[in-house]
Amino acid sequence: MFNTTAWNRIRYGLYAPVYDLVAARAFRRARREALAQVAWRPDMRVLLVGAGTGLDLAFLPRDVEVHATDLAPAMVRRLERRAAGLGRDVRATVMDAEALHFPDGHFDVVVMHLILAVMPDPAHGLAEVRRVLKPDGQLCVMDKFQADDRPAGLARRVLNGITSAIATDITRQARPLLEAGGFVIEQDTPVLAGSLFRALLARPS
């Protein structure tokens, strides 16, 4: 399997200069709809995991405390520039989503947009998210998923060997992942390309 943390750090560092050209407009509405599912309150502490260049920042309330992590330093630098341009105070850090350097129960909301289908070990990543999320916290996910009731067929699994190396895993299923990770799904909304991309809101079980 070519999807490793080291490779992801390299390739997303290479993608950083052109990432917005691909992802900004294509996922704008999906990001906005996913974040609109969160029950926001003033002074919440929010973590953006795998935040990329910070394209979610424009859709976050102004009265929350924002932390952001990404594996690629080039992505974090672009995120910091975007935050400055938006007048947002964001604490951005280069960090592996599967090894979060935050205390237990530290965040009210964790946002995982377009990362569950990328990380090498999503179960480990979700375990870390559940650890740093408060018991009554909210997990906001938006990503591409294989249908929950239909495992990927042989052709899709073969193609996944290519797509997971250059872009994303196309065989992961949202509900099995989240439920096995100790989350209860409260909302599950198709947001793009039919039901391929879904926005899910979940809480620790």
Read off the pTM. Answer: 0.94
Residue 198 in this model has a pLDDT that exceeds 80:
yes
> What value does the mean pLDDT of the chain take?
94
pLDDT of residue 152: 77
Please classify residue 169 by burial: count the beta carbons closer than 10 Å to its beta carbon, then call 0-12 exposed, 13-18 middle and 19+ buried: buried
Question: What pLDDT, in 10s, does the model give residues 94-153?
Answer: 999 999 999 999 999 999 999 999 999 999 999 999 999 999 999 999 999 999 988 777
SS3 string of the chain? CCCCHHHHHHHHHHHHHHHHHHHCCCCHHHHHHHHHCCCCCCCCEEEEECCCCCCCHHHCCCCCEEEEEECCHHHHHHHHHHHHHHCCCEEEEECCCCCCCCCCCCEEEEEEECCCCCCCCHHHHHHHHHHHEEEEEEEEEEEECECCCCCCCHHHHHHHHHHHHHCCCCCCEHHHHHHHCCEEEEEEEEEECCCCEEEEEEEEC
Extents of the domains making up the chain: 5-204
Q: In the chain, pLDDT over 90 holds for what percent of residues?
A: 85
Indicate the class that CATH gives domain 5-204.
alpha beta
